[in-house]
């Protein structure tokens, strides 16, 4: 997954709020006359990650830092979309073009436009200052808000979507099965994860290589 190339200073217009989930807020954004869905990730509770365990045991940042690359939601999603791109299978999911790290000006613009909480989860927003746990060692500043730029879609109703036909269900199943040999597993497949019949959310997905699928690192795997 590459960084978005603004060909100059960052320039984003935040247009509308599209929705939220456990891990992110999604806004409609315009960049250079093109509209996108920009998924802006929360700084989630690491007790919800795979691996590092309860937050109380992770006061030292070494452990979350090591696991973050595999377990943290933004990284999970970058790894899955990255694998789809590098294996020329990007068409199996909604188009994801690049990642964006909001600069301070755009973070202020976002805050002027919407009141969004980036610490925690949709269930426990703002309970702990998770972002503040990872201050830059030299700058002392919190890490930037991280976003993924995707094709703008029209999410259907979550229950009984009228356009969810047998053939679209078959296509989704086929696409899901095609991702497994690419090393993209644990897809958290649910009706509301699809936008216009394509998988859109990989924030909990495992992409191999991954410590959970490696018998040397995961003692719970056996030879069977
Ligand atoms: N490409 C898109 N176009 C339009 N709306 C979108 C798009 N992607 C996401 N949304 C909206 O934003 C909502 C949250 O997005 P998403 O499911 O990716 O977030 P999440 O926090 O990872 O969710 P989850 O709790 O399911 O893991 C979606 O339910 C949908 O309404």
**ipTM for this prediction:** 0.97
Tell me what pLDDT residue 178 has. Answer: 95
Per-residue pLDDT band at 54 (split at 50, 70, 90): low
pLDDT at residue 177, as a whole number: 92
Q: What is the pLDDT of residue 217?
A: 80
Q: Does pLDDT of 107 surpass 70? A: yes
Is the pTM higher than 0.80? The answer reads yes
What's the sign of the alpha-carbon dihedral 39, 42, 48, 49?
positive
Provide CB contacts within 8 A for 91, sequence distance 6+: none
Q: What is the average pLDDT across 207-218? A: 87
Total length of the chain = 224
The mean pLDDT value for 75-102 works out to: 97
- Winning range, highest mean pLDDT, from 104-118, 164-178, 209-223: 104-118
Q: Are 32 and 11 in contact (CB under 8 A)?
A: yes
What lines the ligand 1 site, CB under 6 Å?
18-24, 26, 37, 39, 94, 150-153, 155, 192, 195, 200-201, 203
Asked whether the predicted pLDDT for residue 60 surpasses 70, the reply is no
Which residue's alpha carbon is at the smallest distance from atom 14 of ligand 1? 20
Q: 């094709």: which residue's tokens? A: 151
Mutate to test the pocket of ligand 1, among 73, 191, 200, 203 (most ligand atoms within 8 A of CB): 200
Gap between the Cα atoms of 181 and 124, Å rounded: 35
Tell me what pLDDT residue 53 has: 58
Cα–Cα distance, 193 to 178 (Å, whole number)? 17
Angle between the N-to-C axes of helices 73-86 and 62-71, in degrees from 0 to 180, rounded to the nearest 10: 40
Task: Give the model's pLDDT for residue 37.
Answer: 97
- Whether 68 has a pLDDT exceeding 90, the answer reads no
């Amino acid at each position: 997954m590459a960084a978005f190339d603004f060909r100059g200073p960052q320039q984003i217009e935040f247009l509308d709020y599209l929705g939220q989930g456990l891990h992110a807020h999604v806004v409609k954004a315009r960049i250079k006359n093109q509209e996108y869905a920009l998924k802006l990730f929360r700084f989630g509770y690491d007790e919800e990650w795979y691996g590092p365990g309860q937050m109380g045991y992770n006061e030292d940042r070494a452990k979350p830092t090591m696991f973050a690359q595999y377990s943290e939601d933004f990284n999970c999603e970058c790894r899955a979309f990255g694998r789809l791109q590098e294996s020329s299978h990007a068409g199996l999911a909604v188009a994801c073009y690049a990642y964006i790290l909001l600069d301070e000006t755009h973070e202020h613009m976002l805050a002027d436009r919407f009141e969004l909480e980036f610490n925690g989860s949709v269930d426990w927003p703002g309970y702990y200052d998770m972002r503040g746990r990872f201050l830059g060692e030299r700058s002392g500043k919190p890490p930037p808000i991280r976003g993924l730029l995707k094709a703008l879609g029209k999410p259907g109703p979550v229950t009984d979507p009228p356009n969810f036909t047998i053939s679209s269900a078959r296509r989704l199943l086929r696409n899901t099965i095609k991702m497994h040999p690419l090393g993209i597993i644990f897809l958290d497949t649910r009706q509301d994860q699809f936008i216009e019949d394509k998988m859109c959310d990989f924030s909990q997905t495992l992409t191999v290589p991954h410590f959970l699928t490696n018998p040397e690192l995961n003692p719970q795997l056996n030879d069977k």
